[in-house]
Amino acid sequence: MFQVHPSPVAAPFATSWQTRYQAVRAQSQALCAPLLPEDTVVQPMLDVSPPKWHLAHTTWFWETFLLKEYVPGYQVFHPEYAFLFNSYYNSLGSRVNRADRGTLSRPALADVLAYRAHVDEALTALLAAPEALPPVFFELLELGLQHEQQHQELLATDIKYILSTSPLAPAYLRNELKVKSEELTGAISEAATDFNSSLLTFNSNKASWLPVPGGIHRIGFQEEGFCFDNELAAHDVLLAPFELQNRLVTNADYLAFMEAGGYRDFRFWMGEGWDLAQAEGWEAPLYWVKKEAGWYRFTHHGLQAVNLAAPVTHVSFYEADAYANWAGARLPTEAEWETAARHFGPATENGTWLESSCFDPQPVPGDADPTQCHQLLGDCWEWTYSAYHAYPGYARAAGALGEYNGKFMVNQLVLRGGSCATPESHIRVSYRNFFHADKRWQFTGIRLARSSNG
Amino acid sequence: MFQVHPSPVAAPFATSWQTRYQAVRAQSQALCAPLLPEDTVVQPMLDVSPPKWHLAHTTWFWETFLLKEYVPGYQVFHPEYAFLFNSYYNSLGSRVNRADRGTLSRPALADVLAYRAHVDEALTALLAAPEALPPVFFELLELGLQHEQQHQELLATDIKYILSTSPLAPAYLRNELKVKSEELTGAISEAATDFNSSLLTFNSNKASWLPVPGGIHRIGFQEEGFCFDNELAAHDVLLAPFELQNRLVTNADYLAFMEAGGYRDFRFWMGEGWDLAQAEGWEAPLYWVKKEAGWYRFTHHGLQAVNLAAPVTHVSFYEADAYANWAGARLPTEAEWETAARHFGPATENGTWLESSCFDPQPVPGDADPTQCHQLLGDCWEWTYSAYHAYPGYARAAGALGEYNGKFMVNQLVLRGGSCATPESHIRVSYRNFFHADKRWQFTGIRLARSSNG
Amino acid sequence: MFQVHPSPVAAPFATSWQTRYQAVRAQSQALCAPLLPEDTVVQPMLDVSPPKWHLAHTTWFWETFLLKEYVPGYQVFHPEYAFLFNSYYNSLGSRVNRADRGTLSRPALADVLAYRAHVDEALTALLAAPEALPPVFFELLELGLQHEQQHQELLATDIKYILSTSPLAPAYLRNELKVKSEELTGAISEAATDFNSSLLTFNSNKASWLPVPGGIHRIGFQEEGFCFDNELAAHDVLLAPFELQNRLVTNADYLAFMEAGGYRDFRFWMGEGWDLAQAEGWEAPLYWVKKEAGWYRFTHHGLQAVNLAAPVTHVSFYEADAYANWAGARLPTEAEWETAARHFGPATENGTWLESSCFDPQPVPGDADPTQCHQLLGDCWEWTYSAYHAYPGYARAAGALGEYNGKFMVNQLVLRGGSCATPESHIRVSYRNFFHADKRWQFTGIRLARSSNG
Amino acid sequence: MFQVHPSPVAAPFATSWQTRYQAVRAQSQALCAPLLPEDTVVQPMLDVSPPKWHLAHTTWFWETFLLKEYVPGYQVFHPEYAFLFNSYYNSLGSRVNRADRGTLSRPALADVLAYRAHVDEALTALLAAPEALPPVFFELLELGLQHEQQHQELLATDIKYILSTSPLAPAYLRNELKVKSEELTGAISEAATDFNSSLLTFNSNKASWLPVPGGIHRIGFQEEGFCFDNELAAHDVLLAPFELQNRLVTNADYLAFMEAGGYRDFRFWMGEGWDLAQAEGWEAPLYWVKKEAGWYRFTHHGLQAVNLAAPVTHVSFYEADAYANWAGARLPTEAEWETAARHFGPATENGTWLESSCFDPQPVPGDADPTQCHQLLGDCWEWTYSAYHAYPGYARAAGALGEYNGKFMVNQLVLRGGSCATPESHIRVSYRNFFHADKRWQFTGIRLARSSNG
């Protein structure tokens, strides 16, 4: 049996499971509400799946792992959907080539929404009588909710990429009150620069190094509630003393690297990163565009002047690592990161997460405490210099769910902390996200570390 | 000046130009009416453009070549659209990479329709006072209409391909009265087989060879009205006497080739065709699917049992040529084809074109005259064994329209006759269509020729 | 039976066949004599086969089509060689992927030479008693000789390409007496420029247009002796009157095109040619290198100053066509070319061929007759604007030799006239060479035509 | 300054440095002695460089880093060689594209040997008066020797791959006394099977698990003499107790995995490995060939029956990992491996290395002690489940040598132990070799680990 959580999941009242299920499901659709049907179909690069596909795939997950197992005589919505919406489970048969997801106009968005309604109806009915269901059902239920939330983050970042490919730079969030945001329709206000200048004082001057003691530390999931199998089991690691910067690298910091020729000096780069950056002509993070008035970047709010005090984001590991080398520092390992996050405590968490709910990580306030560690959780996924490998004692689950995490445990790097696009319940100190070193379309950022006395 | 027609175009009444313009424009949108917005976005292979793109590109053509030239102070609908919807005119600047047309969800279909309305309004206004316009304007107007009609055929074939990629095999024409058609939803009627049997008698037994005398013949445009520059100038060719089959190769004929191992015997194939067929695993024409009950093919009406008496279609030149070799015959040259079409007269034309309006070429009726040449016009584009080269004396037009035809005059083959998806005014004996030898997504068919005494 | 020649081959004396066989075979090896073993192995691009492969493949041809057929109990030299050295005959089984020919260091050159000796011994023995052999044997013998000569031209051009890839620009013909040649070792003599200036007078001033009457002309093989099946059968063509330039386009002519921006102006180019030229960064013919002192080109004699009066060579069809468009002319069709070549008579032939034996086509002498047509045979393969298609009545031979020519008869263009690298007996007015429009590594050149009054 | 070793290098007598230099240089050439010139040119896959290139590149290293720095007025052998033979040093300018190394026939092998002689003469002269040279020179000298030895291993493995591509399966070591080896010329002796059977007893029955205690262990270079910068600095790691198998996985073991369907069951595989194995059609380790008589593999001695008792080799990380999963075990981390190697002591080393000098790792003798850990050093590079990342405190050297190791420290995995092709002085417990997970052409093998109680 797939152990998705170390302790029994509390499910005291039927209504609470039902309510939570409905809320999560509704959130996926809410994320797509600002989209046109056209936006839900395309796949402008391999990593980006059509929103329509995300809506259907998450539904297929419920159908496959819960309804077909626990509803006697359950009729699947459509016999071809298992082929169409299986993501990567070899256990569950053949499927559409990943690169072809964006070539399929049908089933249409309306069909997918009908599919969602069909499955939601069945699951809601099932959850009306939870006492009849075995404990393992609730483990799968929890996994299904977490899975759907993972796809919510992908929806946010995939939608951003999809909208960015148009020269029209359409905004996803049009009506939001964001004082300093503006769409680039002709003239650009000078406010952006002023805005940046005021905040810059804090950020440039007060970036501080916070010491973390060495010794044996315990990392991995140690709390109550849900975690993924890849966070298990908690185990001890030995660390030398080190220091971590008290905030993320800002756009101003990164611009200094750019202006110092960081993209043209191979000495700071991993070889494979350098070759890729040359081949792709990288000169700035993803989404950055140089205009006469300065640097802009595409956001969920359309094209915006770069906020110098905000954390740099949409950088690959290669860029994060090159920046760190240029800055005379390094990236933390995941053990260092988690140790520091546990060391500096959960108070930090509250400070930033709510600010980031606009899909745009915000600067540390100018009056923030320089002895505190900011932006650890819910701002940017922070690249670590740790390969995404199995923890000691890790074992793949039996059955199809054994393919959920384990088969990816090579050739990728761990990212920590969660981003402004991560659902709140996905943000915890032990969470291990992972991407290949070249990926830039997530809200990935940089935090510097350095060895003490090093 | 671009000579799109050899004689002055009659434009007697302002209303007639206006009406014709509006009719052609409406037809493009009518073709997209059965589609969902999702269908208008995707590009499942390089040759297939999103319907939304066709709707916008034809509009850009009007805006660029007519409105910007003849409406003083005309404001383009959007400054980025020239970049987005230029197809291949180097004269008119940079443009979206062709392979990326299907990655752009924006501008949305509604935006494109607004673009169409904007341009239609301006052109309709212009055409309200045609007397103020110079003759060259009407040449461009005629070209614009013809251009839009070319894209109507592409819309028909691209839509077919787009719908075909879904395993759901959705029908484009759902409500049409087509007695023998049925969608493949579970059981398949046996009627298809009966239908085929009855027609088969005529087609299999009565395919006849019609002689065409040798000597000097004149080909190229020699009529009144519009033609493309590539049909000019009419010139003499010397032909040896030859024979042409009185009908297109049928599905029954082609099935015999398949069953005789035609796809597995390299001796019938051009080398490049053979290599491609092996690499792609070709075993039948495009859109054919083998079911337990026999061969089916995807059509605008959904999945249909193969009608044995109907012309085979969606074959590449390689397949057409291999079939001809297997059958002990050959494909005609374009000079032979045009000479024969002129020889057998326009009476043939009426017989078939109306039958084909369902985007599905129909069989020759069982009581047809075997001494007549059937299916010459408006059934299938017939592959010829002639390279698409310039006619003697051809010269590219000056300016951007010089890129319309001339730059494609190498590495492609001529097809003749028009298909069931070709707008009627595009069907004439001198019309030269052209595709690369490997293309299969048009309504391409096969007519056999042989040299007399050869 | 494969009809390689229309009339019986004269084979009066056994010794003459034997001698001729030995001479042709010796010539292949002589071409490789200046090479190091290293040079015989590599394949720097797909079109270029390793010289070692050519030496072995031609030998395999003899073994396969003659020895195995006509020597009872013949033992093949090595059972794997049929796999290794079959070029493209599907009839004869699987073979090394063409792209992998340059990855095989074994069999070594010495092994290949032993293979040649083995086969030569057997064939020489067979030819000692020719009276015992049937007529068809001599047809195959002739074909084998012609085949080996075709590979001699490929050896010459492939060796040139192989040597060109090294920045050392090594010369193949080091000791040749060529007054104006010099290797680029440091300083470059100014003599080249002087040399060019003197010849330029004739070539620039005296290029003349020679009229060719229209009407019905007969093309195709009409002589005694050998021809390939693709030259058969002779047939009539109808031509409008046209004019042909009396010499090939020179380097000076072509330089004017280059300096006029010909490589940067899409209006002169076929679309596919333009895209390729941009993608590959073409700015000059293959092998041209710009130095401070001017343009040089890599030759069999090493790097040489461009001889302005000599014919331009190593241009693709795309470049030839663009040049012609720029010059306000066009390329001839193959029917025009052959008609002109027959019209201007064989006297022209003698003038140039001997001069070209240095693998470097030479200028027309300054005192040449401007009413004569020069450089028709044996200088450069002249691109025509005719697709390489079957002549009327062409039929593939039965068996493996049916793959010799017929399966290539689409997507390529005909070249006429033979080059300085073509063995003399391969040069005839009816000979049809063929390459894809993008190929540049053969000695390809340009001759202009124009329609009379047109 | 580049710290290639932590303690001063002893260089007591001039003659000893000179002798050592000459011995290492001679060894590179000795490795190529059995080759034909043809063998030294080709590059049958990207990872495999032509032997001629290795001979030249190592020479360029000496010329660039020592002669140009320490010989006043040194004249480089040829000005183009820096372009031709720079491997990957961006600091030292542009260079031949790696994929094109196998297209260059020139400079020829003889030229490269002349280059070597030129450089050897200069360096030998320099080493005749070592007292005039600064300490840093000897550090570079040592690095040059180590570098040349690394290329000796690559020469051995690249030569193997080159010879393997020919269907002739030529042997590199023809005259060696290897009782059980035979070339596959027709019949295959049954001895191989007998040989295997006798040894199999020990290996199958007696594979044992050796415990290694947990706790804090010190890894990294801690000895006297040379090491690469990537082995520095020694540091403590915390390990849980674990067990290591006392020998490498044998061919018999691996065959059991194959026969159990290991290559067809995705559950054992990393996702990227599975996809690659499917795309490439992997069914066995590299070089294995199935014959009627059983499995054979290509070796330096030609095609050989698989020795069941010998360690399996030429497996990728993906295969090693899949095997371990199938066997219910795992691969060790590099810290575990080094800790175990230090724990089980150097006595093991002597046992195996000499046996392996034939470029073919040998079985553990039947009477070996099952409580000892065998084959740790000098048999196969053992895949670990550790990413090749920088050790704590690692810093790239300044200048071009900073590119030696540091820029590769992502996306690869560490291998430990040295192989039968590794020069003896390269084999030490702290040595970190690294390859991408898909590489198979090195002598890579598998050793199993498992967590205690786990």
Task: Assign B424 a pLDDT band (cuts: 50, 70, 90).
Answer: confident
Q: How many helices (H) and strands (E) does chain A have?
A: 12, 12
Chains touching chain A through at least 3 C-beta pairs below 8 angstroms are: B, D
**Considering CB atoms only, which of A105, A106, A166 is closest to B106?**
A166
CB neighbour list of residue B179: distance below 8 Å, 6 or more residues apart: none
B267·C410 Cβ contact <8 A: no
Q: What is the pLDDT of residues A89-142, one digit of tens each?
A: 999 999 999 999 999 999 999 999 999 999 999 999 999 999 999 999 999 999
Distances (CA, A) of D154 to A19, B47, B172, C283, D375: 63, 46, 61, 40, 21
Verify C-A touch: 3 or more CB pairs within 8 A: no
Rounded to a whole number, what is the distance in Å from the CA of D43 to chain C's nearest CA?
6
Query: Which helix or strand (DSSP H or E) is residue D157 part of?
Result: helix D135-164
Lowest mean pLDDT among A211-220, A422-431, B410-419, D329-338: A422-431
Residue C78 has pLDDT above 90, yes or no: yes
User: How wide is the angle at C-alpha B193 spanned by C-alphas B190 and B196, nearest 5°?
Assistant: 150
SS3 C425: helix
Its pTM stands at 0.93
pLDDT in tens, C187-216: 334 444 444 454 455 455 578 999 999 999
Contacts of B162 in chain A (CB under 8 A): 105
Which candidate from C393, C396, C437 shows the least CB-CB separation from B451? C393
Nearest beta carbon to residue C104 from set D83, D109, D165? D165
Q: Which of D97, D267, D413 has the most A C-beta neighbours within 10 Å, making it the best mutation to test the interface with A?
A: D267
Give the Cα separation of B418 and B433 in Å (integer): 8
* A70 and A137 Cβ atoms separated by less than 8 Å: yes
Contacts of B106 in chain A (CB under 8 A): 36, 38-39, 163, 166, 168, 170
Asked if residue D129 has pLDDT above 60, the reply is yes
- pLDDT per residue over D320-374, tens digit each? 999 999 999 999 999 999 999 999 975 444 334 333 357 999 899 888 888 999 9
Contact B84, B92 (CB under 8 A): no
pLDDT digits (tens, 9 = 90+) for D218-277: 999 999 889 999 999 899 999 999 999 999 999 999 999 999 999 999 999 999 999 999
CA dihedral A254, A258, A264, A270 (to 10 degrees): 0
**Contact pairs from chain A to chain B, CB under 8 Å:** 100
Dihedral through CA C372, CA C374, CA C376, CA C381, nearest 10? -150
Choose among C16, A271, B342: nearest CA to D91. Answer: A271
Nearest of D9, D12, D342, D13 to residue D146 by alpha carbon: D9
pLDDT cut 90: percent of chain A above it: 77
For tokens 């230099």, the residue is D21
- Spatial neighbors of D353 by CB under 8 A, at least 6 apart, are D377, D378, D379, D424, D427
Q: Name the 3-class secondary structure at D18.
A: helix
Written as one letter, the residue type at B276 is L
Q: What is the pLDDT of residue C102?
A: 96
CA distance B258 to chain C (A): 20
What are C82's two structure tokens?
């049929």
Q: In B, what residues contact C, Cβ < 8 A?
A: 88, 90-91, 216, 235-238, 240, 266-267, 269-274, 317, 321, 385-387, 389-390, 392-393, 396, 402-403, 407-411, 413, 437, 451, 454
Q: What is the mean pLDDT of chain B?
A: 88
Task: Answer yes or no: is pLDDT of A4 > 70.
Answer: no
Decide: helix, strand or coil at residue C271. helix
Name C224's Cβ contacts closer than 8 Å, sequence gap at least 6. Answer: C7
Q: Which positions in chain D have a beta carbon within 8 angstroms of at least one beta carbon in chain A?
A: 88, 90-91, 216, 235-238, 240, 266-267, 269-274, 317, 321, 385-387, 389-390, 392-393, 396, 402-403, 407-411, 413, 437, 451, 454
Mean pLDDT of chain D: 88
Contact A409 D274 (CB under 8 A): no
Which residues lie closer than 8 Å to A28 by C-beta, 6 or more apart? A54, A55, A58, A148, A151, A152, A155
Q: What is the DSSP string of A314-349?
A: S--HHHHHHHHHHTT-BPPPHHHHHHHHHHH-THHH
CB-CB under 8 Å, C105 with D166: yes
Contact C266 B393 (CB under 8 A): no
Higher pLDDT: B62 or B130? It is: B62
Confidence of residue B200 (pLDDT cuts 50, 70, 90): low
The residue of chain C with its CA nearest to that of D39 is C105
Q: Which of C246, C243, C21 is nearest to C133 (CA)?
A: C21
Distance CA B54, CA B58 (A): 6
Torsion (CA) C261, C267, C273, C275 in degrees, nearest 10: 90
State which H helix or E strand residue D278 sits in.
helix D271-280
Interval A251-296: pLDDT, tens? 999 999 999 999 999 999 999 999 999 999 999 999 999 999 999 9
SS3 content of chain D, % helix, strand, coil (to 5): 45, 10, 45
Q: Which residues of D touch C36 (CB under 8 A)?
A: 37, 105-106, 108-110
The mean pLDDT value of chain C amounts to 88
Contacting subunits of C (3+ beta carbon pairs below 8 A): B, D
pLDDT, greater one: C355 or B232: B232
Residue B205: its pLDDT value, please?
57
Is the backbone peptide bond immediately before D122 cis, with ω within 30 degrees of 0?
A: no
- B274 with C407: Cβ contact below 8 A: yes
Q: Which amino acid type is present at position C58? A: T
Given a cut of 60, whether residue C379 has pLDDT beyond it is yes
Residue A339: what pLDDT? Answer: 98
Confidence of residue A395 (pLDDT cuts 50, 70, 90): confident
User: Min CA distance, B435 vs chain C (Å)?
Assistant: 12
- Average pLDDT along chain A: 88
> D169: closest CA among D38, D299, D44, D283?
D299
User: Who contacts C131 (Cβ-Cβ below 8 Å, separation ≥6)?
Assistant: C14
> In the predicted model, is pLDDT for residue A29 greater than 80?
yes
Distance of CA A54 to the CA centre of its chain: 15
pLDDT at A203 over 90: no
- For residue A358, name the pLDDT band (cuts at 50, 70, 90): confident
Q: How far is B76 from chain A (nearest CA, A)?
A: 15
- Closest CA–CA distance from residue A402 to any residue of chain D (Å): 8
* Model pLDDT, residue A346: 56
* Strand partners for D382: D416, D445
From A78-92, B172-186, C387-401, C405-419, the region with the lowest mean pLDDT: B172-186
C2-164: what CATH class? mainly alpha
| D189: Cβ contacts below 8 Å, ≥ 6 apart | D182
Is the separation of the CB atoms in D65 and D140 below 8 Å? yes
Q: According to the model, what pLDDT value does residue B233 have?
A: 85
As a whole number of angstroms, the distance between CA B191 and CA B179 comes to 10
- Distance of alpha carbon B230 from alpha carbon B406, whole angstroms: 8
Q: Enumerate the residues of chain C whose CB falls inside 8 A of the CB of residue D45.
A: 103
Cβ atoms of residues C323 and C210 within 8 Å: no
Residue C214 Cα, gap to closest chain D Cα (Å): 50
Look at D91 and C277; give whichever has higher pLDDT.
Answer: C277
Q: Which CATH number fits domain C182-451: 3.40.50.300, 3.10.310.10, 3.20.20.70, 3.90.1580.10?
A: 3.90.1580.10
Contacts of A325 in chain D (CB under 8 A): 396
CA distance C211 to D322: 76
Q: At what angle do helices B14-32 and B51-62 cross, to 10 degrees?
A: 160
Crossing angle of helices D14-32 and D135-164, in 10° steps, is 10
Q: Closest partner residue to B108 among A36, A84, A162, by Cβ?
A: A36
Identity at C72, one-letter amino acid code:
P
3-class SS at D207? coil
Give the containing element (helix H, strand E) for D140.
helix D135-164
Provide the 8-state DSSP code for A419: B
Q: What is the pLDDT of residues D6-26, one digit of tens each?
A: 333 444 444 589 999 999 999
C-beta separation of C303 from C184 below 8 A: yes
Which chain C residue lies closest to B238 (C-alpha atoms)? C238
**CA distance, residue D268 to nearest chain A CA (Å):** 9
Strands C288-291 and C294-299: antiparallel
CB–CB contact D91 A267 (8 Å): yes
Residues of A engaging D, defined by a Cβ cutoff of 8 Å:
88, 90-91, 216, 235-238, 240, 266-267, 269-274, 317, 321, 325, 385-387, 389-390, 392-393, 396, 402-403, 407-411, 413, 437, 451, 454
Facing A269 at nearest CB: one of D392, D393, D407:
D407
| Residues of chain B contacting residue C269, judged by C-beta atoms under 8 Å apart | 407
Query: Contacts of residue B80 in chain A, CB cutoff 8 Å?
Result: 167-168
Least confidently predicted of C319-328, D89-98, D187-196:
D187-196
Determine, for residues B272 and C410 on separate chains, whether the beta-carbon distance falls below 8 Å.
yes
**D68: its two tokens:** 């140009």
What is the pLDDT at residue B438?
A: 98
Give Cα separations from C24 to B249, C20, C59, C115, C428 (angstroms): 49, 6, 12, 16, 18
Q: For residue A88, give the nearest of D216, D271, D437 by CB distance.
A: D271
- Within 10 A of C277 (CB to CB), how many other CB atoms are there? 21
| Contact flag for D and A (3+ C-beta pairs < 8 Å) | yes
Chains that touch D (3 or more CB pairs under 8 A): A, C
Chain C residue at shortest CA distance from B390: C385
Residue A77 to residue D13: CA distance in whole angstroms: 84
Ordered by start, the domain boundaries in chain A are 2-164, 182-451
Q: Is the pLDDT of residue B102 over 70?
A: yes
DSSP state of B311: B
Higher pLDDT, C353 or C412: C412
8 A C-beta contact, residue D52 and residue D109: yes
Which residue is closest to B270 within chain C, CA to CA?
A: C407
Residue A5 — very low, low, confident or very high, per pLDDT cuts 50/70/90?
A: very low
Write the DSSP symbol of residue C66.
Answer: I
Which residues from chain A sit within 8 angstroms of residue B83, using beta carbons?
A: 167
Tell me the angle at which helices D109-127 and D14-32 cross, rounded to the nearest 10 degrees: 170
Interatomic CA distance for residues A454 and B7, integer angstroms: 87
Task: Tell me the percentage of chain B whose pLDDT exceeds 70.
Answer: 87
